[in-house]
Amino acid sequence: MKRFFLLLCAAAMLTACGDSEKQLKQRAAELCQYIPDHELLQRSQDYMTADFYALLDTMFYRLPEHEAMDHEWLYYFVTGNGGTIADYEVVSVEKLDADHAVATILVRQIWEDGTPADDSDTPEEHFLMMERVNGTWLMSDFDAHKVDCIRYIANNRKEQALRDAISAYLINEIGSQYAQGEICVPALMMVHETDSLVWGDFWIFWYNRSGDTLKTVSGGNHSGRMTIAWTAASQPAAAQPAAAQPLAATQPVITAFEQTLDGAAFEPSAKRIFGDYYDVYQNMHSNASVREAVRREQLSWYVRLHSLPVRYYQDFGWSPVALDD
């Protein structure tokens, strides 16, 4: 019995040693190598809690960018975009309870040859949260980015639900009046949004697939102001890891759409409908380069989303345009 008691004590001491500040600092230094700066490494999954990795995976790879570089801030957790390398120093680790700890980290910016990136000797202070899961310490948060990610995903999904509703309205209510092809993918340029109104420069495009190219069948512009009603969601969105699923409780429905008029009536109707946002609208509407960039981006997202073996789109009489990878 005495021998059994001594063995228990020895095991307890070994466990305590594994949680010493020295051991925790060594583990924190190891985890620093997987801070998702500029990219989220796939092998990071083994060094993060499941919920934190799921959030970051969603942020980096599973959200559409409604505007160019919408979530650019993701890529700069610690270094920014100046081409420097983060040099980590774990200053201390404080255990919060048996399974949670926070590491205080100093980050200095250096070049590839190890020289300091600037003249400042003052490093940035960051905080790496650690959680013990099945006996292994993992990264569970970094500088409270988990809350930022949850909030951003929720806002992004609300925006995506709105865009999906607008696209469906354009396809069903307006696209049906065009010469139809196999696929209809609207291009949406949002001018201004409130909870109940959306002003936008909207385009309808019907396509037929020919090999690896979507060839335009028909299309046209429908600018104006849509009225939005938010109703109780009838079903959840596509399955995602629980931590990455902050779903909105309501879904948007388009209840009215006032469009600009054609011909000589276009400018007066556009000024009346867009009001204070007319200049923003006119800058969008009159810039073919911006329109084509948005069209390519949103069509590329549609192709990826539906796993279509398509690499180009082509308007009649024009050369094919490569879609984004």
Shared domain for 265 and 161, answered yes or no, is yes
Shared domain for 139 and 157, answered yes or no, is no
Q: Which of these ranges, 72-86, 226-240, 253-267, has the smallest mean pLDDT? A: 226-240
User: How many other CB atoms are found less than 10 A from the CB of residue 323?
Assistant: 21
Shared domain for 135 and 165, answered yes or no, is no
CA–CA gap between residue 229 and residue 35 (Å, rounded): 41
- In the predicted model, what is the mean pLDDT of the chain? 86
- Helices 145-169 and 50-61 pack at an angle, to 10 degrees, of 40
- Helices 266-274 and 278-285 pack at an angle, to 10 degrees, of 130
CA–CA gap between residue 45 and residue 29 (Å, rounded): 17
Contacts of 96 by beta carbon, 8 Å cutoff, 6+ apart: 102
Integer-rounded Cα radius of gyration of the chain: 26
Shared domain for 89 and 170, answered yes or no, is no
> Residue 128 corresponds to which tokens in the numbers above?
């790496």
Mean pLDDT, residues 149-155: 86
Q: pLDDT-based confidence at 122, cuts 50/70/90? A: confident
Mean pLDDT, residues 198-222: 97
182, part of any domain: yes
User: How many other CB atoms are found less than 10 A from the CB of residue 164?
Assistant: 13
Instruction: Yes or no: say if 143 and 133 are a contact pair by the CB < 8 Å rule.
Output: no
Shared domain for 177 and 313, answered yes or no, is yes
Please state the separation of Cα 23 from the chain's center in Å: 35
pLDDT at 14: 40
Q: pLDDT-based confidence at 74, cuts 50/70/90? A: low
User: Count of domains in the chain?
Assistant: 2
pLDDT top residue among 42 and 187: 187
Check which CATH number belongs to the domain holding 73 and give it. 3.10.450
CA–CA gap between residue 128 and residue 95 (Å, rounded): 12
Shared domain for 263 and 317, answered yes or no, is yes
Indicate the residue among 111, 143, 175 that finishes a domain: 143
Contacts of 256 by beta carbon, 8 Å cutoff, 6+ apart: 226, 227
In this model, does residue 167 exceed pLDDT 90? yes
Instruction: Yes or no: say if 50 and 142 are a contact pair by the CB < 8 Å rule.
Output: no
Number of Cα atoms under 13 Å in the Cβ half of residue 277: 19
Amino acid at site 151: R
Cα angle at 25 between 19 and 28, to 5 degrees? 105
Shared domain for 27 and 76, answered yes or no, is yes
Greatest CA separation for the chain: 99
The pTM score is: 0.70
pLDDT at 157: 86
In this model, does residue 135 exceed pLDDT 70? yes
User: How many other CB atoms are found less than 10 A from the CB of residue 217?
Assistant: 17
9, part of any domain: no
Expressed as residue numbers, the domain containing 301 is 153-322
Sign, CA torsion 159/160/161/164: positive
Mean pLDDT, residues 63-78: 62
Contacts of range 117-126, beta carbons closer than 8 Å, 24 or more positions apart: 117/82, 117/84, 123/89, 124/78, 126/78
